[in-house]
Chain A
Amino acid sequence: MAYGDRYEMVCGIETHAEMATKTKIFCACSTEFGAEQNTHVCPVCLGLPGTLPVLNREAVNLAIKAGLALNCEIATVSKFDRKNYYYPDLPKNYQTSQFDLPIAKNGWLEITTDAGGGKRVGITRAHMEEDAGKLVHSGETITTSSAGSSVDYNRAGVPLLEIVSEPDLRSPEEALAYLTSLVRILDYAGVSDCKLEQGSVRFDVNLSLRPKGRADLGTRTEMKNLNSLSAVRRCLEYEAERQAGVLDGGGQIIQETRTWDEGREMTLSLRSKEEAHDYRYFPEPDLMPLRISPAWVESMRRALPELPEARRERLIGLGLSPYDAGVIIADKDLALYFDEALKTGPDVKTLANWLTSELYGLLNARGESLAACLIKPAALAALVNLIKQGAISGKMGKTVLEMMASTGRDPEDIVRAEKMTQISDAAELSALVDEVLANNPKSADDYRGGKEQALGFLVGQVMRLTKGQANPALVNRILKEKLN
């Protein structure tokens, strides 16, 4: 019996997103991913004695933008605090974070629920902090690595934005809708690349159950460091069933931190509330309080690009179906590509169709990304124009698209070089139709006798004569005129 028959899920999520700055939050080291171990480090991010942090203003800019994009209040005075705990990947054995004066609070974002309606999910707060380094173990964990562990501090000091949601999520699906929407907003706003596969976004989820219809909250557990949306979904499903099992058996949920074991697809107890860290937060004395003027906030508001929901509305206004608009805005690269292609004025719906089904299908088949695709937006628009004007058929278009993807050539060049121009001259086609009818009198009779499929054969004969260049719709019409 599924937990959902008896219990309601109450879930809140903390999202840690790496901000898209070029340099780290407190020093000038590069944030580039994938560099050789310990090459993007300096005395400051290694926490060497006597070094001091200097706040990266761009990180604050991005945090303000994120706050605005998530409908938050931006603090006029914000500050940093030290979160003290010992771990070898933490160079100073404290993390510079924000405790009681986060840069943004009291926001929301809208999701579409399972039932199809809209729902606001509250954003409690968003705050800036520094990332830690990365441990590389010779064994499975730090305590079982007999041959030792090494630490890569390239990531230490990369700016993170932690976004804390209210416990407003009621199902794994809602959690997924929230995260999808959140990640998309951060991506659009330029706050984070949200490259989940590179670990640039990580999630901590809090979950409790309560009997349906009850308003008070049950005891929650926290699952830390999930690194994909699918892991969040599977973790929530597992943990909800586990809690339901405990509650059904008359047991009590222990407030604790658990870990998601990806291999075993289950959550495991990490530490109880009693064993929880005391982080001994106190104000970071090496940084001055951050004063954020209304003018600063306004300049960030003006610099904020069009966000996904506004873009969806605009695309629908241009005549796209809500479905097509949804497909396009789901991916920032796709949306930007679409806008770029629109500049040369192709038919909006045809463009949407060719982008979302033909080009995307082709890229999938070729295993390519849109970013790496040789077909530039203007070239796709040109192809759409050729088809819409009838210069080539849709079928030819697909062939041209493939050639464009392989060579990066313009569609006009391909059509000209391959002599793929469609014959849409009625007089020329009429003569060819006459020739086909003269050579196939039986088929003509069959059609007249009511065999509709004979028409297809006759169209095919015209296409064969023209090596496929005849405009099929026009051939169809001329044939019908002559046969009737």
Chain B
Amino acid sequence: MDIRLSECSVAELGRLLRGRELSAAELTEYYLERIERLDPAVRAYISVLADKARIRAREMDALLSAGAGGPLTGVPAALKDNICLAGAVTTCASKALANFRPPYSATAAEKLLHAGAVVLGKLNMDEFAMGSSTEYSAFFPTHNPWDLARVPGGSSGGAAAAVAAGTAPYAIGSDTGGSIRQPASFCGVVGMKPTYGAVSRYGLVAFASSLDQIGPLTRTVADNALVLTAIAGHDPKDSTSAPNEPGDYSAGLEEGARGLKIGLPKEFFREGLAPGVEKVIRDSARRLESLGAEVGECSLPHMDHAIAAYYLIAPAECSSNLARYDGVRYGLRAPAADVIDMFQASRSAGFGPEVKRRIMLGTYALSAGYYDAYYLQAQKLRTLIRQDYERVFAEYDVILSPTAPTAAYRFGEMSDPLSMYMGDIYTIPVNLAGLPAISLPAGLTDGMPVGVQFIGRHFEEALLYQAAFALEQSVAFTERPALTEVD
């Protein structure tokens, strides 16, 4: 076959499979071979489910040969390792869960399987999704396919790197404060954080329950819409999942940017934003204008407080969510003299430094005498931030902003936790407000990809895809990491 399969979109692969020009077994073998060849350098995968994938691919071939199946049937995919897949080890990149094999699948994973996905494996991440570089994986760091000396971003670093390296046609990640969008930006792929409640959280190992959302990482905007359509929707197992049934996110994709009112938040263009990144954003704004969009300056006055609010709310929820890893029922149990000792020893041995830091922060924020000053204040800020967006969305359809202040940095460069936290300044407020946002590659700076972010109203993912698709077509971002050229 003279088509480069790793360059094919998910939609194209689906068409080839349904047209029986390609079998799911061949495609799966192709990706397993790429993983074997490229992943030793990239290290995106924590586990590769080769045998299961081969069996699954043959089953999908039988379905396809019978004329059944949809756009994702037989197309391989990979899951961030905090998304449960029945029978497969789900580690959250933590020693605490190094051997944890859930007897259930996340609803999003189940929906993907229902749509015919062949799961290739589970992807690396910062431990329990806490981090922005995947350096906090308890097992090994993942490398950016564009430059192996740089981080892929995080916490869904494995997911972004796999898609960028062409070792998975698409991946499913999770985003609590930017964990899909920032690595998508660092690795030059498309990442969507849907509206809170759009995708079920059942089976996503919780970090911060009120902020976590599952979403797709893909190479194109159209693929992203296709995958989100498959995984979104109400789930009776998740009380916070939205009751409204999602439509087809791909439907309005090609309607263009004409007439769209796009706001640029002035607070996002201040110190800390790398000039190379700012240039890409400004270029994107000009492109959108040339496509007929109206671009204007808007204001999100409370953004300066978003990081502070986030680093109280997320750790508070995390301190409670991670309390269950005590060695009693599953996961790591350290030898100890008595039960209290066992709790302490198991948790000391099970968690890495960033997880411990956040558990301590959260425990402190919720403590008697501090709750009002910290957690409650943070919740008030959260309301103010949401209101900021509401005011902007009364005037604008979408917000255009940087995804991250810089392109991917080198390993060890962001050793100070506070600097790392500041890197999420453009993504965190979106989670606090529960809004959907997408990051797509829109240019390069010093040879590294730069993502731009569109933020939309609750449940207006379709409009984000429409805006992102228009920009994507205009930018025509065809650069690929050198590493993927070895095919």
Say yes or no: A91 contacts B240, CB within 8 Å.
no
Q: How many residues on the B side are at the interface (Cβ–Cβ under 8 A)?
A: 44
Say yes or no: B323 contacts A49, CB within 8 Å.
no
Chain A residues, CB < 8 A from B329: 46-48, 91
The CA of A417 and the CA of B147, in the complex, are separated in Å by 101
Say yes or no: A280 contacts B367, CB within 8 Å.
yes
Q: Nearest chain A CB to B267's CB is how many angstroms away?
A: 27
Within 8 Å by CB of B237, from A46, A52, A93, A280, lies A52
- Decide if A88 is an interface residue (CB 8 Å cutoff): yes
Say yes or no: A47 contacts B324, CB within 8 Å.
yes
Say yes or no: B324 contacts A91, CB within 8 Å.
yes
With A49-B100, A91-B329, A280-B367 known to touch, is A55 a contact of B239 (CB < 8 Å)? yes
The CA of A123 and the CA of B112, in the complex, are separated in Å by 51
> B66-102 toward A: CB 8 Å interface, digit per residue (1/0)?
0000000000000000111000001010000100101
Interface residues of A in 25-73 (CB under 8 A from B): 43, 46-55
Chain B residues, CB < 8 A from A286: 206, 209, 239-240
- Decide if A94 is an interface residue (CB 8 Å cutoff): yes
Chain A residues, CB < 8 A from B201: 50, 52
Chain B residues, CB < 8 A from A149: 339
- Decide if A84 is an interface residue (CB 8 Å cutoff): yes
- Decide if B175 is an interface residue (CB 8 Å cutoff): no
- Decide if A287 is an interface residue (CB 8 Å cutoff): yes
The CA of A354 and the CA of B247, in the complex, are separated in Å by 69
Q: Nearest chain B CB to A51's CB is how many angstroms away?
A: 7
Within 8 Å by CB of B102, from A50, A52, A285, lies A50
Interface residues of A in 273-308 (CB under 8 A from B): 278, 280-282, 285-288
Q: How many residues on the A side are at the interface (Cβ–Cβ under 8 A)?
A: 31
The CA of A151 and the CA of B74, in the complex, are separated in Å by 44
Say yes or no: A49 contacts B102, CB within 8 Å.
yes
- Decide if B251 is an interface residue (CB 8 Å cutoff): no
Say yes or no: B371 contacts A282, CB within 8 Å.
yes
- For B202, B208, B239, B316, the residue with the greatest tally of chain A CB atoms inside 10 Å of its CB is B239
Chain B residues, CB < 8 A from A280: 319-320, 363, 366-368, 371
Within 8 Å by CB of A84, from B82, B90, B320, B330, lies B320
- Decide if A457 is an interface residue (CB 8 Å cutoff): no
Say yes or no: B239 contacts A142, CB within 8 Å.
no
- Name B208's closest neighbour in chain A (CB-CB): A285
- Name B206's closest neighbour in chain A (CB-CB): A50
Say yes or no: A93 contacts B206, CB within 8 Å.
no
- Decide if A24 is an interface residue (CB 8 Å cutoff): no
Q: Nearest chain A CB to B361's CB is how many angstroms away?
A: 13
Q: Nearest chain B CB to A19's CB is how many angstroms away?
A: 19
Q: Nearest chain A CB to B311's CB is how many angstroms away?
A: 15
- Decide if A143 is an interface residue (CB 8 Å cutoff): yes
- For A49, A151, A282, A286, the residue with the greatest tally of chain B CB atoms inside 10 Å of its CB is A49
Chain B residues, CB < 8 A from A53: 239
Chain A residues, CB < 8 A from B339: 88, 142-143, 149
Q: Nearest chain A CB to B28's CB is how many angstroms away?
A: 26
- Name B200's closest neighbour in chain A (CB-CB): A52
The CA of A47 and the CA of B237, in the complex, are separated in Å by 14
Chain B residues, CB < 8 A from A282: 316-317, 320, 366, 371, 375
- Decide if A220 is an interface residue (CB 8 Å cutoff): no
- Name A82's closest neighbour in chain B (CB-CB): B320
Say yes or no: B366 contacts A52, CB within 8 Å.
no
- Decide if B479 is an interface residue (CB 8 Å cutoff): no
The CA of A125 and the CA of B97, in the complex, are separated in Å by 40
Chain A residues, CB < 8 A from B209: 285-286
With A51-B203, A93-B324 known to touch, is A288 a contact of B240 (CB < 8 Å)? yes
Number of A-B pairs, beta carbon distance below 8 Å: 104
- Decide if A409 is an interface residue (CB 8 Å cutoff): no
- Decide if B205 is an interface residue (CB 8 Å cutoff): yes
- Decide if B343 is an interface residue (CB 8 Å cutoff): yes
- Name B347's closest neighbour in chain A (CB-CB): A86
- Decide if B299 is an interface residue (CB 8 Å cutoff): no
Within 8 Å by CB of A94, from B84, B238, B320, lies B320
> B234-263 toward A: CB 8 Å interface, digit per residue (1/0)?
001111100000000000000000000000
- Name A149's closest neighbour in chain B (CB-CB): B339
> A238-263 toward B: CB 8 Å interface, digit per residue (1/0)?
00000000000000000000000000
Q: Nearest chain A CB to B378's CB is how many angstroms away?
A: 11
The CA of A431 and the CA of B123, in the complex, are separated in Å by 106
Chain A residues, CB < 8 A from B271: none
Chain A residues, CB < 8 A from B102: 43, 48-50
- Decide if B148 is an interface residue (CB 8 Å cutoff): no
- Decide if B41 is an interface residue (CB 8 Å cutoff): no
- Name B201's closest neighbour in chain A (CB-CB): A52
- Decide if A170 is an interface residue (CB 8 Å cutoff): no
Chain A residues, CB < 8 A from B203: 50-51
The CA of A260 and the CA of B208, in the complex, are separated in Å by 39
Q: Nearest chain B CB to A95's CB is how many angstroms away?
A: 11
The CA of A149 and the CA of B328, in the complex, are separated in Å by 11
Q: Nearest chain A CB to B485's CB is how many angstroms away?
A: 38
- Name A276's closest neighbour in chain B (CB-CB): B368
Say yes or no: A49 contacts B324, CB within 8 Å.
yes
- For A43, A84, A92, A93, the residue with the greatest tally of chain B CB atoms inside 10 Å of its CB is A93
Within 8 Å by CB of B366, from A84, A93, A142, A288, lies A84
Q: Nearest chain A CB to B208's CB is how many angstroms away?
A: 8
Chain B residues, CB < 8 A from A54: 236-239
> A78-103 toward B: CB 8 Å interface, digit per residue (1/0)?
00001010101001111000000000
Interface residues of B in 289-348 (CB under 8 A from A): 316-317, 319-320, 323-324, 326, 328-330, 338-339, 343
Chain A residues, CB < 8 A from B84: 49-50
Say yes or no: A93 contacts B100, CB within 8 Å.
no
- Name A87's closest neighbour in chain B (CB-CB): B339
Chain B residues, CB < 8 A from A86: 323, 326, 343
The CA of A142 and the CA of B336, in the complex, are separated in Å by 14
The CA of A288 and the CA of B90, in the complex, are separated in Å by 27
- Name A135's closest neighbour in chain B (CB-CB): B339
- Decide if B17 is an interface residue (CB 8 Å cutoff): no
Interface residues of B in 420-478 (CB under 8 A from A): none
Chain A residues, CB < 8 A from B104: 43, 48, 50-51
Chain B residues, CB < 8 A from A55: 239
Q: List 17 A-B contacts (CB under 8 A).
A: A43-B103, A46-B329, A84-B320, A84-B366, A91-B324, A91-B329, A93-B324, A93-B326, A142-B338, A142-B339, A143-B338, A280-B320, A280-B366, A281-B366, A282-B375, A285-B210, A288-B239
Q: Give 10 nearest A-B pairs by CB, closest first.
A: A93-B323, A280-B366, A285-B209, A285-B210, A49-B205, A50-B203, A50-B205, A92-B324, A278-B368, A88-B328
Question: Taking beta carbons and an 8 Å cutoff, which residues of A are in contact with B?
Answer: 43, 46-55, 82, 84, 86, 88, 91-94, 142-143, 149, 151, 278, 280-282, 285-288
Q: Other than A54-B239, A84-B323, give 15 A-B pairs with Cβ distance below 8 A.
A: A49-B84, A50-B102, A50-B106, A51-B202, A52-B202, A52-B238, A54-B237, A84-B319, A93-B323, A93-B324, A143-B339, A151-B328, A280-B363, A281-B371, A285-B208
